[in-house]
């Protein structure tokens, strides 16, 4: 499939998910979509709760939906909101299931005009000095949850200890 059509589908899925956001407290609807290594797209929206700590961001909803369907490697992530920027927790979750090549599309969607401004970057650039379960030795050399080992650390990674 044409890469630009794939990105358009990813953005459309995130925009559609944003419409389902449950955000009565912040009134800040966010939609997200992830493209997995297998080519499937999973979408999510933010879901708030009166006990704020129980709320869940759109990015994690989309990622966890993919994980629940055994789609473990992320090829691209898209976030749609007015001034779309993933929070720190979402950046760490995205990092765990990404490679250095995982693209991140931040789509600032103006709620009044519906105009989109798309910025493309990479997940690994959004969280400098991220906690990496591979380099920390928490995961074995070929973890099931990561499709491709991060080439920059795979040679330096300590071996996981077994108990």
Paired with 109 in beta bridges are 116
Percent of the chain with pLDDT over 70: 85
pLDDT value for 146 = 54
The confidence score (pLDDT) of residue 140 equals: 66
Confidence at 139, pLDDT banded by 50, 70, 90: confident
Which of the four pLDDT bands, split at 50, 70 and 90, describes residue 152? very low
Q: At what angle do helices 58-68 and 88-96 cross, to 10 degrees?
A: 20
What pLDDT was estimated at residue 77?
Answer: 98
Q: Ranked by mean pLDDT, which of 129-133, 153-157, 158-162 comes out on top?
A: 129-133
pLDDT value of residue 158: 46
With beta carbons less than 8 A apart as the criterion, state whether 143 and 116 touch: no
**pLDDT value of position 16:** 97
Residue positions annotated with a catalytic role: 59
Where do the CATH 3.40.140.10 domains begin and end in the chain?
3-130
Across 1-10, 15-24, 124-133, 149-158, the highest mean pLDDT is recorded for: 15-24
Can you give the pLDDT at residue 1? 61
pLDDT for 156: 43
- The rounded radius of gyration (Å) of the Cα atoms in the chain is 16
d(CA 99, CA 88): 18
**pLDDT (0 to 100) of residue 143:** 54
What value does the mean pLDDT take over residues 72-95? 95
Domain 3-130 grouped into CATH 3.40.140.10: yes
* 3-state SS, one letter per residue, for the chain: CCHHHHHHHHHHHHHHHHCCCECCCCCCCCEEEEEECCCCEEEEECECCCCHHHCECHHHHHHHHHHHCCCCCEEEEEEEECCCCCCHHHHHHHHHCCCCCCEEEEEEECCCCCCEEEEEEEHHHHCCCCCCCCCCCCCCCCCCCCCCCCHHHHCCCCCCCCC
Give me the chain's average pLDDT, please: 87
Length of the chain (residues): 163
In the predicted structure, residue 28 carries a pLDDT above the cut 50 = yes
**68 in Cβ contact with 39 (< 8 Å):** no
């Amino acid at each position: 499939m044409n890469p630009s059509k794939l990105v358009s589908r990813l953005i459309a899925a995130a925009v559609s998910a944003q419409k389902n956001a449950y955000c009565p407290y912040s009134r800040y609807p966010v939609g997200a979509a992830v493209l997995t290594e297998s080519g499937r797209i999973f979408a999510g929206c933010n879901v708030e709760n009166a006990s704020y700590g129980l709320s869940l961001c759109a990015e994690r909803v989309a990622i966890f939906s993919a994980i629940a369907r055994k789609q473990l490697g992320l090829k691209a992530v898209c976030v749609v909101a007015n001034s779309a920027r993933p929070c720190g927790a979402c950046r760490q979750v995205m990092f765990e299931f990404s490679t250095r090549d995982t693209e991140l599309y931040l789509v600032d969607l103006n709620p009044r005009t519906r105009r989109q401004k798309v910025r493309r970057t990479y997940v690994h650039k959004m969280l400098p000095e991220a906690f990496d379960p591979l380099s920390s030795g928490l995961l074995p050399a070929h973890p099931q949850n990561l499709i491709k080992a991060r080439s920059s650390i795979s040679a330096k990674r300590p071996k996981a200890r077994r108990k």
